[in-house]
Amino acid sequence: QQQVKQSPQSLIVQKGGIPIINCAYENTAFDYFPWYQQFPGKGPALLIAIRPDVSEKKEGRFTISFNKSAKQFSLHIMDSQPGDSATYFCAASSGGSYIPTFGRGTSLIVHP
C-alpha cells in the first residue's frame, strides 16, 4: 500500500521551463511534507519542506504548493537549469512516528 503517490515518473523540460511534480497522500495524520533531491550515486538531500498550516513555501527557485483539503502537494522549479537534472522524491511524516514515507520518485531531465 503506497501511502504517498507521486507523479509523473519522469519529466523532460527545456532550460528555463517550470517542471511540476505532484504528490498525493491518504493519511490525514501526516503533518510534515519534505522534498528530497537525489543525484546518481548519492543519498537523498533535503530540498524544501512544508507544514499543512501554510499553502505555499518558496526557497530560491523551488516552491511547494500545498492543498490540505485535497491532500495534495506539488513542487515547482522555476527557471530550471541542467544542473537541476536529478530524481526528486516527495515524502510525508506524522508527529506520531516521525518516519518519512517516500513517493516513488520523479526523474527530471533539463535540456540545455
Partner 1 sequence: GAGVSQTPSNKVTEKGKYVELRCDPISGHTALYWYRQSLGQGPEFLIYFQGTGAADDSGLPNDRFFAVRPEGSVSTLKIQRTERGDSAVYLCASSLNRGREAFFGQGTRLTVV
- Binding positions for partner 1, rule: CB under 8 A: 6, 32, 34, 36, 41-46, 49, 89, 93, 97-105
Smallest gap, in angstroms, from Cβ of residue 99 to partner 1? 5
Polymer length of the chain: 112
Judged by beta carbon, residue 71 or residue 104, the one nearer partner 1 is 104
Smallest gap, in angstroms, from Cβ of residue 56 to partner 1? 19
Q: How far apart are alpha carbons 73 and 79 in whole angstroms? A: 20
Smallest gap, in angstroms, from Cβ of residue 111 to partner 1? 21
Distances (CA, A) of 8 to 24, 27, 93, 98, 107: 12, 21, 21, 26, 8
